[in-house]
Amino acid sequence: MRKKGVWLGLLALLILLVLPATAVWADGPDRSTNSWEWNFDAGKTYFDEDVTVKQGEVVNGDLGVFNGSLTLEDGSVVNGAVFVFNGNVNAAGRVNGDLAVIKGDLVVAQAGWVTGEMFGMGGTREIAGRVGGNLSGLFGKTVLRSTAVVGGDVLGGPGDLVVEPGAQIGGQVQRIPGPSLPFLRSRPEVTPMVPQLPGGQPNTLGERVGGFIGRLVAAMVLSLALLAAGALIVAIWPRPTQRVADCIADLPLRSLGLGLLTFLIAVALELLAVILLAVIGVVSAGLMATVILIPVGLLLLLLGVLLLVVVPLALAVGMILGWVALAEVVGRKLLGVLKAQRATPLAAVVVGLLATVWLPAVLWLIEPCCLAWPVIVLITSVGLGAVILTRFGTRQCLPTRPPATPAEPPALPAGAMDQEAGQPDVPPASG
């Protein structure tokens, strides 16, 4: 049984992600909430912001919310498609179009009305109002209350599908068995455990002291873990570490520039991977609309999750290897100043790590978010660039030197050619 509803998420996502040439910057970033709002000719898209459509308000065009919740009050109207990613939806108004929610809870009140298709993936879906088209709910729980009215088919699973007596369904009901996925759980509502000041700082002296002690323990644990990792890397991969260290010593500026560029590329790739994961999730939902294609859809979701992991994992390995190699260079310099005889690479790495890890640790104690990470990125960029230049230590990295010009033969004394000219060659005397 093929359903148009399972593809509405992909359609809405493409509409909201593709930036048309006529798009204009609306209100800019909201400094108080660190959110972004984009205005398009066909609607609005919000990032990192909870959105509420008030009673009597009319939104003409598509409405998208990324990493935020959406509330449609009773009497509100959206003339277009609605798409929400990583956020909850509470709809008591009317949507003259399709509604898609990925990784979030969806509640349609008794007064709510969606004239088109409805699609949800992850979280819990509770429908008490009207849905004009098909209803598709994947990975999570779908509940149709006794007042619910669905004009088309209902697809539920993997997860629970509950239909209360009295719910009206115009089409067929199909359940898909299978396990739920933890990473598709709904967005949690965070409640502070202790009172917070407007600036986000702890309210009492005891809380500030406790936070400092927690950061101190974290800094000590991370520093010891880095020392242990450095010793292990030098013991297992001494030659790759030596090649990276030599590259840092030969090309420090080039390694720094390439390392910073690698960080920027990694961030761009990770953002692209997040967008691709959303698209893959919707496509997988479409494949799983047919029972025989459920394994293909699950495999596609697994590949999408692995796509998110590859870039951070490779970046973390490169950062650690580069930091250890940089520590070896710094340690050799310090041991040379101290005139240490026969210093081993392990000793150089330990001394270098102690010399480079103290500054990020102190900054972490002062303010972990704003000061420590830029310094860590700057320190590791030198080693990360050398890791890229040496292909993770598998080849040598030597500075480019101009080719040596061959030495010219010594010039003859002045007049030597004149004395030589005109004199016949004398054959050698025969014995």
Q: Are 123 and 102 in contact (CB under 8 A)?
A: no
What is the arithmetic mean of pLDDT over 88-110?
91
| Mean pLDDT value of segment 155-160 | 76
For 280, phi and psi rounded to 5 degrees?
-60, -40
Neighbours of 97 (CB within 10 A): 20
Residue 292's pLDDT is 62
Question: In the prediction, which pLDDT does 415 show?
Answer: 55
Q: Output the pLDDT for position 314.
A: 87
Lowest mean pLDDT among 121-130, 186-195, 400-409: 186-195
Residue 281's nearest CA partner among 425, 125, 129, 138 is 138
Q: Provide the pLDDT confidence category of residue 166 given band limits of 50, 70 and 90.
A: very high
Inform me whether the pLDDT recorded for 239 exceeds 60: yes
Categorize the per-residue pLDDT at 405 as very low, low, confident or very high, splitting at 50, 70 and 90.
low
Q: Are 61 and 43 in contact (CB under 8 A)?
A: yes
Q: How sure is the predictor about 79, in pLDDT bands with cuts at 50, 70 and 90?
A: very high
Check residue 73 and give its pLDDT. Answer: 93
> Is 50 exceeded by the pLDDT of residue 229?
yes
Domain ranges of the chain: 4-184, 206-389
Lowest-pLDDT choice from 16-20, 37-41, 278-282, 290-294: 16-20
Residue with tokens 């001494």: 238
DSSP code for 402:
P
| Cis status, amide bond into 413, omega within 30 of 0 | no
Residues 356 and 375: beta-carbon distance below 8 Å: no
The helix/strand/coil state of 184 is helix
What the block records as the tokens of 291 is 């029972």
* Higher pLDDT, residue 114 or 179: 114
Structure confidence by residue, pLDDT tens digits, 325-344: 998 899 888 888 888 777 78
- Which of the pair, 386 or 198, is modelled with greater confidence? 386
Question: In sequence order, what DSSP letters do the residues of 3-43 get, joined into one string?
Answer: -GGGGHHHHHHHHHHS--TT-EE-S--BTTTTBEEEEETTE
Q: Which is nearest to 178 in space by CA: 151, 124, 138?
A: 138
Q: Is 371 exposed, middle or buried (0-12, 13-18, 19+ CB in 10 A)?
A: middle
Average pLDDT rounded to a whole number, residues 78-94: 90
pLDDT at res. 21: 32
The pLDDT value recorded for residue 177 is 60
**From CA 210, how far away is CA 216, in angstroms rounded?**
10
State the chain's mean pLDDT as an integer.
75
Contact present, 318 and 384 (Cβ < 8 Å) = yes
Which tens digit of pLDDT belongs to each residue from 24-70? Answer: 333 434 434 444 444 444 568 888 889 999 999 999 988 888 888 99
Q: How confident is the model at residue 148 (pLDDT cuts 50, 70, 90)?
A: very high
Please give the single-letter amino acid code of residue 52. Answer: T
CB 128 within 8 A of CB 111: no
What is the DSSP track for 338-391? TT-SS--HHHHHHHHHHHHHHHHHHHHHH-IIIIIHHHHHHHHHHHHHHHHHTT
pLDDT of 3: 44
Q: In sequence order, which residues have a C-beta less than 8 Å from that of residue 98 and are 6 or more positions away?
A: 5, 8, 11, 12, 81, 82, 114, 116, 117, 118, 119, 133
pLDDT of residue 14: 40
pLDDT band at residue 418 using 50, 70 and 90 as cut-offs: low
